[in-house]
């Protein structure tokens, strides 16, 4: 079922409550698709990464090969945030007057630990991964537990709106600054035209430093806006992306999954399937049989709360799901 869901899509998100087997499902699906000839990149966005542990090899912030046609990546929120703020610092040092650089450094140092900074940096990295994917590649995001994931998928719209506000303010500032410079130098029309990128007939002299700064800020914001717009369009296009919710047949995971579905729907993202993982067998002793009956009630509750969604039940497997052998056993139940 999941292999069919992945057909022709560019991006899949695998998420749910912590400890239900999201990383294993994402990896097993990726391995199965890669063996069928599809290029796959599995990306962990969870700060508590399990991808490397699952595969029994180091996986970090640079892509590594896990199997033929299958690569893995663990987004490091701290490193991503540092890289993001370093790029901002470099740009601001180049664009701002020297006497303001101390304030810029102070502001960015405070921003490092500000609420939402890590999420915004991780979102930028997710957008970069989606934009840079190979045309034939499927990107599977192994996400953090539900609360973090729901905030993350809502961020593209928020960041897009925030960047639009910055663009409007930057436009007003550029026009106002150009008019003031014109009053000072007696060439208001030409300065205003330079600031908004309009060329007058007969040619203009090169814009001054402030106009160049305004134009570069505008260019940076335009690129950022385009990145978030593209990501939002992918997330909200059911033909290109889908979300797979993984859960256990227990009360809290079921309730959390129903809430996650509602949050994803409000964010405009479609849920493609539910995976109930580690189902207890009915014929392996009295204890597990009783557990199976209890789980059935929660599966029924799930189907009542979320009717019509494809639901896949994966049995509790003997041994741990580790390495290629364990993932192959799990993959057999995901097709």
Which residues, 6+ apart, have CB-to-CB distance to 22 below 8 Å?
Answer: 14, 15, 16, 142, 143, 246
On the 0-12 / 13-18 / 19+ scale of CB atoms within 10 A, 80 is buried
pLDDT at position 290 is 97
Contact between residue 257 and residue 149 where contact means Cβ atoms under 8 Å apart: no
204 in any annotated domain:
no
263 in any annotated domain:
yes
Question: What is the residue-wise DSSP string for 43-78?
Answer: EE--SS--HHHHHTS---SS-EEEETTEEEEE--HH
pLDDT tens-digit map of 246-300: 999 999 999 999 999 998 998 888 999 999 999 999 999 999 999 999 999 999 9
Per-residue model confidence as pLDDT tens for the chain (335 residues):
898 999 889 999 999 988 899 999 999 999 999 999 999 999 998 877 889 999 999 999 899 999 999 999 999 877 877 877 787 777 777 766 777 777 777 777 776 776 667 777 788 888 889 999 999 999 999 987 655 555 666 655 555 565 555 556 656 655 655 555 555 554 444 444 444 444 444 444 445 666 676 676 667 667 777 777 788 888 889 999 999 999 999 999 999 999 999 989 988 889 999 999 999 999 999 999 999 999 999 999 999 999 999 999 999 999 899 999 999 999 999 98
Contact between residue 125 and residue 152 where contact means Cβ atoms under 8 Å apart: no
Residue found under tokens 């896949």 = 312
Half-sphere exposure for 181 (CA within 13 Å, toward CB): 18
pLDDT at position 229 is 79
In angstroms, rounded to a whole number, what is the distance separating the alpha carbons of residues 199 and 156? 34
117 in any annotated domain:
yes
pLDDT at position 156 is 57
* 280 three-class SS: coil
Question: Which residues are bridge partners to 84 per DSSP?
Answer: none
113 in any annotated domain:
yes
Output b/e per residue, 89-117; b: 16+ Cβ within 10 A.
Answer: beebeebeeeeeeeebeeebeeeeeeeeb
222 in any annotated domain:
no
H/E stretch holding 34 reads: helix 22-35
Domain count, the chain: 1
- State the CATH number of the domain containing residue 274: 3.40.50.300
**What's this model's pTM, rounded to 2 decimal places?**
0.80
Q: Which of 322, 335, 332 is nearest to 24 (CA)?
A: 322
Q: Which of 298, 256, 307 is nearest to 278 (CA)?
A: 298
Q: Print the domain residue range for 282.
A: 2-159+240-331
309 in any annotated domain:
yes
171 in any annotated domain:
no
295 in any annotated domain:
yes
In angstroms, rounded to a whole number, what is the distance separating the alpha carbons of residues 118 and 83? 11
Other beta carbons within 10 angstroms of residue 198's beta carbon come to: 11
């Amino acid at each position: 079922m999941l292999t069919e869901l992945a057909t022709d899509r560019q991006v899949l998100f695998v998420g749910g409550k912590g400890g239900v087997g999201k990383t294993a499902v994402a990896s097993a699906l990726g391995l199965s698709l890669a063996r069928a000839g599809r290029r796959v990149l599995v990306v962990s966005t969870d700060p508590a990464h399990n991808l490397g542990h699952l595969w029994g090899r180091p996986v970090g912030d640079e892509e590594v090969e896990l199997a033929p046609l299958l690569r893995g990546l663990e987004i490091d929120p701290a490193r991503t945030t540092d890289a993001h703020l370093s790029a901002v610092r470099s740009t601001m040092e180049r664009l701002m007057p020297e006497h303001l650089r101390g304030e810029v450094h102070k502001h960015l140092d405070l921003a490092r630990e500000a609420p939402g900074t890590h999420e915004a940096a991780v979102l930028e990295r997710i957008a970069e991964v989606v934009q840079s994917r190979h045309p034939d590649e499927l990107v599977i995001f192994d996400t953090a537990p539900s609360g973090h994931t729901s905030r993350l998928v809502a961020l593209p719209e928020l960041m897009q709106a925030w960047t639009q506000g910055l663009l409007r303010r930057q436009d007003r500032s550029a026009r106002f600054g150009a008019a003031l410079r014109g009053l000072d130098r007696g060439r208001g029309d030409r300065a205003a035209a330079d600031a908004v990128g309009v060329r007058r007939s007969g040619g203009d002299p090169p814009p001054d430093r402030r106009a160049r700064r305004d134009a570069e800020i505008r260019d940076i914001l335009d690129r950022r806006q385009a990145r978030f717009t593209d990501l939002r369009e992918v997330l909200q296009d059911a033909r290109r992306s889908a979300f797979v919710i993984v859960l256990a047949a227990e009360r809290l995971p079921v309730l959390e999954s129903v809430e996650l579905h509602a949050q994803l729907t409000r964010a405009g993202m479609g849920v493609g399937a539910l995976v109930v993982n580690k189902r207890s067998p009915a014929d392996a002793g009295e204890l597990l049989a009783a557990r199976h009956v209890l789980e059935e009630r929660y599966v029924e509750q799930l189907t009542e709360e979320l009717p019509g969604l494809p639901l896949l039940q994966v049995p509790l497997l003997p041994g741990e799901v580790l390495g290629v052998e364990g993932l192959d056993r799990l993959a057999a139940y995901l097709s």
